């Protein structure tokens, strides 16, 4: 069958999601909500830089909720719970990269109630958190006995992230160290990362007390650093590290970590991405111990990343590929642990039923 899809927001993830829907043989784009009045009324194809597709964007939530659709790809910068609840109550399933990856039983009551009322399903994902943080470690753990430690870690040059307002005002680059450490970023991140760590703890059966600790560090510019958000002056934040740990007693058993650097020159302390460069790493120690390094999810150059960031595209693609499974699932919040394996689909020119 064909699943009818609405795209909610057309930032980097949203634009990639639209491209993914248009390429997927089982999906049809039927609507698009946008935040900006400047985008409202425009053909969605125009918004993503392709030929018109006959679907126009709108800023009207009521108009979108009235559409006949199976699923909404909800991808704004920050989630609004009331919006998501309204979508679910309208009878539309939701896939999203901005929350609800593994909410606790006492969390997200409004979302659970909306799923029950609308007979709908929500799946939260992402890349880190989401995917790299828990899905891949859990897959790797399937070939390991007696696991003692699980780590998921990101090493990224943040110059390739084409969202300057987010980098400066939310991520805190260019701030003073005190401003950055006091900013709400840690609390914004930890809701996702702590729950992702807890998913791994629960799935592997580590006997933690449910506590996941957060640690953060900053490095500053030791000399002026040119960046897409302007020059970062000496003494201003030019790199950030975050780490989330679960322990059994004093032993760390599950870690999620990010290393975000505005390049790896002229930093104090002298942080570096290392010889392996930008990457994601997944490690599971046990019998045997396994480490996977993911390349290709970060752009090859800063310039390329500002045009198209592969990590952003990957974030969108899991959402797109999960749509049929989410639409066919029982109502409620469904995590990576609840859904069958999410797979991609063949390129249109190589798929079943193609024209020879």
pTM metric for this prediction = 0.90
Q: How confident is the model at residue 356 (pLDDT cuts 50, 70, 90)?
A: very low
Residue 146 has pLDDT above 90, yes or no: yes
- DSSP string of 26-54, one letter each residue: TEEEEEEE-S-TTTTTSBHHHHHTS---S
Helix (H, G, I), strand (E, B) or coil at 25: coil
d(CA 156, CA 232): 18
As a whole-number percent, the residues of the chain with pLDDT over 90 amount to: 79
Please write the tens of the pLDDT for every residue from 62-118: 999 999 999 999 999 889 999 999 999 999 999 999 999 999 888 899 999 999 999
Residues 159 and 40 in one domain: no
Q: How confident is the model at residue 298 (pLDDT cuts 50, 70, 90)?
A: confident
Please write the tens of the pLDDT for every residue from 217-253: 999 999 999 998 999 999 999 999 999 999 999 999 9
Q: How confident is the model at residue 340 (pLDDT cuts 50, 70, 90)?
A: very high
pLDDT for 353 equals 58
Pairing outcome for strands 3-8 and 71-74: parallel
Token pair in block for residue 54: 């006959």
Q: Is residue 8 part of a domain?
A: yes
Q: Is residue 110 part of a domain?
A: yes
pLDDT for 106 equals 83
Please write the tens of the pLDDT for every residue from 5-51: 999 999 989 999 999 999 999 999 999 999 999 999 999 999 999 99
Which domain-ending residue is among 296, 325, 344?
Answer: 296
Q: Is residue 283 part of a domain?
A: yes
Tell me the mean pLDDT in the region 268-282.
94
Residues 141 and 95 in one domain: no
Residues 25 and 140 in one domain: no
User: What distance separates the 2 farthest-apart alpha carbons in the chain?
Assistant: 62
Judge contact between 285 and 140, C-beta under 8 A: no
Q: Is residue 145 part of a domain?
A: yes
CA gyration radius, the chain? 21
Residues 102 and 249 in one domain: no
Token pair in block for residue 334: 């469904």
Determine the distance from the C-alpha atom of residue 125 to the mean position of all C-alpha atoms in its chain, rounded to a whole number. Answer: 6
Q: Domains in the chain: how many in total? A: 2
The answer, yes or no, to whether the previous bond of 129 is cis (omega within 30 of 0) is yes
Residues 177 and 67 in one domain: no
Q: Is residue 221 part of a domain?
A: yes
Residues 56 and 113 in one domain: yes
Residue 297 has pLDDT above 90, yes or no: no
For 54, 106, 242, the CA distances from 214, given in Å and listed in that order, are 47, 21, 7
Residues 162 and 83 in one domain: no
Tell me the mean pLDDT in the region 153-162.
88
**Could you tell me which of 57, 65, 67, 62 has the C-alpha nearest to residue 34?**
57
pLDDT for 355 equals 46
Residues 145 and 122 in one domain: no
pLDDT for 354 equals 53
CATH of the domain at 103: 3.40.50.720
Residues 226 and 282 in one domain: yes
Q: How confident is the model at residue 191 (pLDDT cuts 50, 70, 90)?
A: confident
Q: Is residue 344 part of a domain?
A: no
Tell me the mean pLDDT in the region 310-330.
95
Query: Hey, CA dihedral for 272, 187, 166, 314, is it positive or negative?
Result: positive
pLDDT for 238 equals 97
Its domain, for residue 21, covers: 3-127+313-333
d(CA 338, CA 296): 28
Q: Is residue 287 part of a domain?
A: yes
CATH of the domain at 249: 3.30.360
Q: Is residue 348 part of a domain?
A: no
Please write the tens of the pLDDT for every residue from 196-216: 999 999 999 999 999 999 999
Enumerate residues 6+ apart whose C-beta is below 8 A from 296.
310
Tally Cβ neighbours within 10 Å of residue 218. Answer: 22
Tell me the mean pLDDT in the region 294-300.
87
Q: Which of 77-81, 188-192, 256-260 has the lowest mean pLDDT?
A: 188-192
Residues 279 and 155 in one domain: yes
Residues 285 and 319 in one domain: no
Query: Which position has the token pair 């990639």?
Result: 16
Residues 187 and 77 in one domain: no
């Amino acid at each position: 069958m064909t699943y009818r899809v609405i795209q909610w927001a057309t930032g980097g993830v949203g634009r990639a999601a639209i491209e993914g829907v248009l390429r997927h043989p089982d999906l049809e784009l039927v609507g698009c909500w946008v935040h900006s009045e400047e985008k409202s009324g425009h053909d969605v194809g125009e918004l993503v830089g392709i030929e018109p597709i006959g679907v126009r964007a709108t800023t009207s939530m009521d108009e979108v909720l009235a559409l006949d659709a199976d699923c909404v790809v909800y991808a704004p910068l920050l989630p609004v719970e009331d919006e998501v609840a309204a979508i679910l109550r309208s009878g539309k399933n939701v896939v999203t990269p901005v929350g609800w990856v593994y909410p606790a039983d006492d969390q997200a009551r409004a979302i659970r109630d909306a799923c029950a009322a609308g007979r709908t399903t929500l799946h939260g994902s992402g890349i880190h958190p989401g995917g790299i943080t828990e899905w891949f470690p859990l897959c790797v753990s399937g070939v390991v006995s007696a696991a003692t430690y699980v780590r998921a870690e990101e090493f990224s040059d943040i110059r390739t992230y084409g969202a300057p307002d987010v980098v400066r005002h939310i991520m805190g680059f260019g701030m003073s160290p005190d401003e950055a450490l006091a900013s709400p970023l840690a609390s914004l991140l930890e809701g996702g990362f702590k729950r992702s760590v807890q998913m791994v703890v629960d799935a592997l059966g580590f006997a933690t007390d449910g506590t996941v600790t957060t640690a953060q560090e900053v490095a500053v510019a030791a000399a002026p650093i040119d960046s897409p958000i302007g020059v970062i002056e000496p003494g201003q934040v030019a790199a950030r590290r975050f780490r989330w740990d679960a322990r059994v007693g004093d032993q760390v058993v599950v870690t999620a970590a990010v290393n975000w650097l505005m390049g790896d020159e002229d930093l104090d302390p002298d942080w570096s991405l290392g010889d392996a460069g930008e990457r994601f790493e997944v490690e599971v120690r046990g019998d045997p111990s396994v480490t996977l390094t993911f390349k290709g999810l970060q752009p090859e150059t800063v310039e390329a990343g500002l045009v198209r960031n592969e990590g952003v595209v990957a974030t969108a693609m899991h959402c797109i590929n999960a749509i049929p499974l989410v639409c066919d699932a029982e109502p409620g919040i469904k995590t990576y642990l609840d859904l069958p394996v999410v797979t991609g689909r063949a390129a249109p020119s190589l798929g079943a039923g193609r024209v020879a």
